Structure formats: structure tokens, C-alpha cells
Amino acid sequence: MTHLRSVGICAGAGGLSLGLEQAGFDPVLLLDNRTVACETLRGNRPSWNVLDADLLDFDPADHQQTYDVDLLAAGLPRVKATASVRRADRDDELEVLKATIMLMHGVQPRALLIENVPDLLTKPAYEPIREYIADELSHLGYDHQWFVLNAADFGVAQDRKEGVLVAFKDGRLDSFSRPAVTVADHLTVGEALGPSMASRGWAQSAAWAAQADRPAPTLVGGSWSRGGADLGPTGTKRAWARMGVDGGTVADAVPGPGFVWDPSLGRPGMMALTVPQTAALQGFPADWSFAGRKTAQYRQVGHATPPPVGRALGEAIKAALMC
């Protein structure tokens, strides 16, 4: 396999970086401002050059190995629809998005990949942001394209839509084709988690897996500054309850032999998912570990880009760069 060089910013738990590695991109530097995420990256890939720093303070002149890489990749914090690039009191998420675009001036990668919420490219409220990005990229000589992918189309057992921006220099965008769907049928929650639910001898695991016959709703990592670990807002919890899962917490272990599954009892009659199970729903391999305590682990999982999506995007970008 031919390997290309990449820089990853807002790398988080490494979902996007892992997928790009599988596609043949070797990171010369990965940056994140959360120490626990940096510990996760180093724990899984000791050879990766991981920098624990804020993107807003990052200067590529101090890290010249980032110059002229093949790809700058960013799984950015979710931008809010109320943000405006012309407001004085800008949101932190928007500042990070702008800093990513400004980083292009120094790094000058052959290609750019940004993953964010699908609303960023579909909703009128984001039009000022899209115009800002288009103007800056055009000024730097990049052609760009927006599109939406669903992780379920790439073997991830989750209905998770991703807004994607790609940009290329030297007319390479004409050679780019968005990733093609890789699975004929979507993987269900029961298929993905059935074996783990049975691993401690839970007698009802097969019955539970049979009725968990659809992809999971989108996992939401939640706020780093407040609250505990749960699977998302009220509507998401209701969707989990329809599969007999307590979405209001994250479990320490899968059910044992004595657990009686009876969703009619409400939360006491439903099991919760463990962090490794949520990671499986994101498409992480079973041997990928997460640093920190349970809530911090789940935050990293929920905010990650599913590795299979990263791989599909990486393969498509690599094909355009090498044609």
C-alpha cells in the first residue's frame, strides 16, 4: 500500500485518524486539547506524534513537519446554527472551524477533510459560515465540495449522518468521487451487540438481539462540562427504550445470568450499554481502548467519527490525489 502523510486536528479518540490510517495515511502530527483524548491516542498508537494543545494556539511554524502534507483532516466540534462569522461574540465551535481554515495558509496541504454536523451544509442559518469557508478556500487556490454521508451505509450499526467538506488544490477535485456505499444491508444493533450481550451468560440475550433489528440512533457524546454519561437527548432515549435499552446511563458490565429483561417495568427492566458496546456501535475495533473514567470514555466515543467512515473518505481522497 502506498502511504501518504496527514495532519489531524481535534483528533479526539482517534476515530477519523484510525480510519485514515486504514486507508493509507500516516499522521505526522495529531492535535487535541483534551489530555484524556491524547492519552487514548498514545495508548493505542505509541508511534503517533500526539500534541496536547489548543488549535487556537497552534502555530505550524513550530511544527514544520506539517508543511505540505497530503491531507489536513479535522473532526471538529459541532458548530451551532446560531453562529455567524460576522458576530463579535463568536462561539468557540465556530472559532475552531475558522482556525482550521486559517491553518490552511500555513500548512498548505494537498487536500482538506472536515467532518461536522450535516446541518452545516444544508441549513440556511449556516450560509454565512459556508460563504466564509468558500471565500477563504478560493483565495488559497482550493476547489471544495460539501456532501452528507450516513455511517450506516459503511457498515456502522448506527443511523449517523455526517456533514463532510473536502477541498483540493491543482484541480484534483475533478478526480474526486464521494465514497460509495459499502454495505447492501444496514447492520443492526442486535447483530452488532448480540455476542457481547451473551458473553456473561444472559439467557435472554438472543431474544433481545432479535428485536433490536435496526441501526442505533445517533450516539451523542454530550457536554464535557456537565452531566453524566447517557446516550443522548429525550428522543434518542425513547428510541433506545423501544429496543429495550436504558439510554439514560452507561453500564459498567453487560447483563449477567440473573438479569430479567422486562421493558414493561421501565428502566429497572432494561439493560444499559457499556462503553465498549457504544464503541462497537461507532465501528471501533474491539482492541481500541479509551483512557479516563467511564463518563470521559463515553464522551470520547460519542464525539468520535466512526472509523469506517474515515476509511471510506480516506480511500476516496487518496484515489483523487494519486490519479
pLDDT tens track for 124-135 = 988 999 999 999
* The pLDDT of residue 162 is above 60: yes
> Is residue 32 domain-shared with residue 158, that is, in the same domain?
yes
> Is residue 294 domain-shared with residue 157, that is, in the same domain?
no
For the chain, what is the domain count? 2
> Is residue 206 domain-shared with residue 278, that is, in the same domain?
yes
Give the residue, 230 or 274, on which the prediction is more confident: 274
> Is residue 154 domain-shared with residue 173, that is, in the same domain?
yes
Q: Which three cell numbers stand for residue 19?
A: 480510519
pLDDT tens digits along 208-265: 999 999 999 999 887 787 777 889 899 999 999 999 999 999 999 999 999 999 999 9
pLDDT tens digits along 9-38: 999 999 999 999 999 999 999 999 999 999
| Of 84-88, 159-163, 254-258, the least confident | 84-88
Q: What mean pLDDT do residues 276-283 have?
A: 98
Percent of the chain surpassing pLDDT 90:
85
> Is residue 57 domain-shared with residue 170, that is, in the same domain?
yes
Return the pLDDT at 32: 97
Task: Provide the pLDDT confidence category of residue 89 given band limits of 50, 70 and 90.
Answer: very low
Return the pLDDT at 91: 60
SS (H, E, C) the chain: CCCEEEEEECCCCCHHHHHHHHHCEEEEEEEECCHHHHHHHHHHCCCCCEEECCHHHCCHHHCHHHCCCCEEEEECCCCCCCCCCCCCCCCHHHHHHHHHHHHHHHHCCCEEEEEECCHHHHCHHHHHHHHHHHHHHHHCCCEEEEEEEEHHHHCCCECCEEEEEEEECCCHHHHCCCCCCCCCCCCCHHHHHHHHHCCCCCCCHHHHHHHCCCCECCCCCCCCCCCCCCCCCHHHHHHHHCCCECCCCCECCCCCCCCCCCHHHCHHHCECCEHHHHHHHCCCCCCCCCCCCHHHHHHHHHHCCCHHHHHHHHHHHHHHHHC
Q: What mean pLDDT do residues 66-90 have?
A: 69
> Is residue 201 domain-shared with residue 285, that is, in the same domain?
yes
pTM of the model: 0.94
> Is residue 156 domain-shared with residue 216, that is, in the same domain?
no
> Whole domain around residue 67: which residue ranges?
4-182+306-322
> Is residue 175 domain-shared with residue 275, that is, in the same domain?
no
> Is residue 29 domain-shared with residue 143, that is, in the same domain?
yes
